[in-house]
Amino acid sequence: MKKILLLVCGLISLPYWASAQFVQGYDKENSTFEREPEYRFLLGAGLAINDYGIGLTGELPIQDQYGVYGNLGVGGWGSKIGLGGIFYFDEVIRGGAIQLGFASASGLRDYELEMEVQGNTTELVTMDLFRANTLNAQYVHSIALGRNAKLCFQIGRAWSVTRNAYRVTSGHTLSPASEALLEFLKPGGWIVGTRLMFSL
């Protein structure tokens, strides 16, 4: 798990370094770009709670105001994948956009966690976390960093479409507080995140 996290952190740092190579063609005197490039594909990395966790994300503009996105990441409910569509209010590289999509977390087998069980005692509980799916709606605001990179901030909501998301395998009976905690940890709720993307 530590190796996976180190790898993901390394991937996240890559776009920050690479973006410096793409910030060219900016006219500082007039605060404008020499030309607007045609964006074929954007790749980036970041952090998004209740979306893809820590991972990579990509955008494929199809028309001036429409595109599709995909992401891969890892979070507290296992590995994550997401797909959806984007509507750009302004331009691909700057301004606001709406994202609508579907996300899925793989779950974890034999997951162990100290939890309160029946009898008001705390014990190490073993459980299986099942695949959990959400429908996501987000507003994304992008700040252009030169002609070929952007910093994005996102906020939105993820609605869970999974009912039975876990099974206790250690024979314990969870307390109401522990059940509420697992419902809180399950994918779903408010989405908050940021990512850095650059054009390939």
Mean pLDDT of the residues in the chain: 85
Least Cα distance to 159 among 182, 186, 139 occurs for: 186
Report the half-sphere exposure of 91 (CA within 13 A, side-chain side): 12
Query: What pLDDT does 200 receive?
Result: 87
Percent of the chain predicted with pLDDT > 70: 81
Query: How far is 86 from 88, CA to CA, in rounded Å?
Result: 6
Whether residue 13 has pLDDT greater than 80: no
Give the confidence band of 40 by pLDDT, cuts at 50, 70, 90. confident
Domains of the chain: 2-199 (2.40.160.20)
Which residue type, as a one-letter code, is found at position 107? G
Q: How confident is the model at residue 151 (pLDDT cuts 50, 70, 90)?
A: very high
pLDDT confidence of 36, banded at 50, 70, 90? low
Q: Does residue 167 carry a pLDDT above 50?
A: yes
pLDDT at 63: 82
* pLDDT for position 191: 97
What does the pLDDT look like over 102-150, one tens digit per residue?
Answer: 999 999 999 999 999 988 899 999 999 999 999 999 999 999 998 899 9
Above 60 in pLDDT, residue 175? Answer: yes
Contact 196, 19 (CB under 8 A): yes
